[in-house]
Chains A and B, each alone.
Chain A
Amino acid sequence: MKQTPVIEAARLCIGYALRNGKKKVVHPGLELRLYAGEVTCLLGLNGAGKSTLLRTLGGFQQALAGEAFLLGKPLSAFSPVEISLTIGVVLTEKTHAGGITVYELVSLGRHPYTGFFGLLKGRDREIIGQSLEAAGISHKASSYVAELSDGERQKAMIAKALAQQCPVILLDEPTAFLDVTSRIETMALLRKLAREQQKTILLSTHDMDSAIQMGDRLWLLEKERPMACGTPEDLILNGQFESFFHKDGILFDPSTGKLTATVPFNPIGVTGDFITSYWAGNALARNGWRPSPPNDTYVNVNCLGKRQIIITLPDKTSLCVNSIDDLIATIETLNANDDKRNHL
Chain B
Amino acid sequence: MNRRAFLLYPLLALALMALFAGGLAYGAVPIPPESVLDILLGEEPERVSWRHIVLQSRLPQAFTAMLAGASLAASGLLLQTFFRNPLAGPSILGISDGANLGVAVVTLYSGGSLSRLADLPVSGYPAIILAAFVGACAVLGLILYFSSRVRNNVMLLIIGLMIGYLASSVISILNFYASTDKVHAYVMWGLGNFSGVSLAQLPLFMLCSSGGLFFSVLLIKPLNALLLGESYAANLGIRIKRTRMAILLCTGALTAVTTAFCGPVSFIGLAVPHIARLLLGSSNHKTLLPVTLLIGSCVALLCNILMVTPGMNTILPLNAVTPLIGAPVIIYVIINRKNIQYFN
Contact = CB atoms under 8 A, between A and B. Distances in A.
Question: In this complex, which of A58, A60, A84 has the most chain B Cβ atoms within 10 angstroms of its Cβ?
Answer: A84
Contacts of B237: 80-81, 83-85, 111-112
B221 A117 contact: yes
A58 B235 contact: yes
Interface string A57-96: 0111000000000000000000011011101110101111
Count class of interface residues, chain A: 35 or more
Interface in A141-180: 144-147, 164
B92 interface: no
A145 B341 CA distance: 8
Given A80-B237, A99-B277, A104 B231 contact: no
Contacts of A111: 221, 225, 236-238
A89 B231 contact: yes
A98 interface: yes
Contacts of A117: 220-221, 286
A81 B220 CA distance: 18
A118 interface: yes
A236 to B, nearest CB: 34
Given A84-B237, A89-B231, A99 B224 contact: no
A100 B284 contact: yes
Given A93-B229, A94-B229, A97-B283, A80 B239 contact: yes
Nearest to B223: A118
Given A98-B343, A99-B282, A108 B277 contact: no
Interface in B228-260: 228-232, 234-239
B6 interface: no
A109 interface: yes
A91 B236 contact: no
Contacts of A145: 341, 344
Interface string A312-332: 000000000000000000000
A172 B293 CA distance: 38
B84 interface: yes
A116 interface: yes
Contacts of B228: 93, 95-97, 105, 108
Contacts of B341: 98-99, 144-147
Contacts of B340: 99
B234 A146 contact: no
Contact of A80 (B81, B84, B227, B238): B238
B196 to A, nearest CB: 35
B315 to A, nearest CB: 38
B235 A99 contact: no
B176 interface: no
A166 to B, nearest CB: 9
Contacts of B236: 84, 108-109, 111-112, 164
Contacts, number: 101
B84 A100 contact: no
A145 B344 CA distance: 8
B82 to A, nearest CB: 11
A60 B231 contact: yes
A343 B231 CA distance: 66
Contacts of A84: 235-237
Question: In this complex, which of A80, A93, A97, A144 has the most chain B Cβ atoms within 10 angstroms of its Cβ?
Answer: A97
Nearest to B242: A80
Interface string B328-344: 00000000000011111
Nearest to B230: A93
Question: In this complex, which of B81, B227, B228, B239 has the most chain A Cβ atoms within 10 angstroms of its Cβ?
Answer: B228
B235 A96 contact: no
A91 B229 CA distance: 10
Contacts of B224: 100, 104, 108, 118
Interface string B285-313: 01000000000000000000000000000
A108 B238 CA distance: 11
Contacts of A100: 224, 227, 282-284
Question: In this complex, which of A91, A98, A111 has the most chain B Cβ atoms within 10 angstroms of its Cβ?
Answer: A111
B222 to A, nearest CB: 9
B227 A96 contact: yes
A105 B227 CA distance: 9
B295 to A, nearest CB: 16
B243 to A, nearest CB: 11
Contact of B342 (A98, A112, A147): A98
Nearest to B220: A117
B282 A89 contact: no
B227 A97 contact: yes
A117 B225 CA distance: 12
A104 B284 contact: yes
A83 B235 CA distance: 7
Question: In this complex, which of A59, A80, A99, A111 has the most chain B Cβ atoms within 10 angstroms of its Cβ?
Answer: A99
Nearest to A87: B235
Nearest to A118: B221
A116 B227 CA distance: 17
A80 to B, nearest CB: 5
Contacts of B283: 96-100
11 contacts: A80-B239, A93-B232, A95-B229, A96-B342, A97-B227, A99-B284, A100-B283, A101-B282, A104-B282, A118-B221, A144-B341
Ranked 8 nearest A-B pairs via Cβ: A99-B342, A99-B283, A84-B237, A146-B344, A98-B344, A146-B341, A118-B221, A111-B236
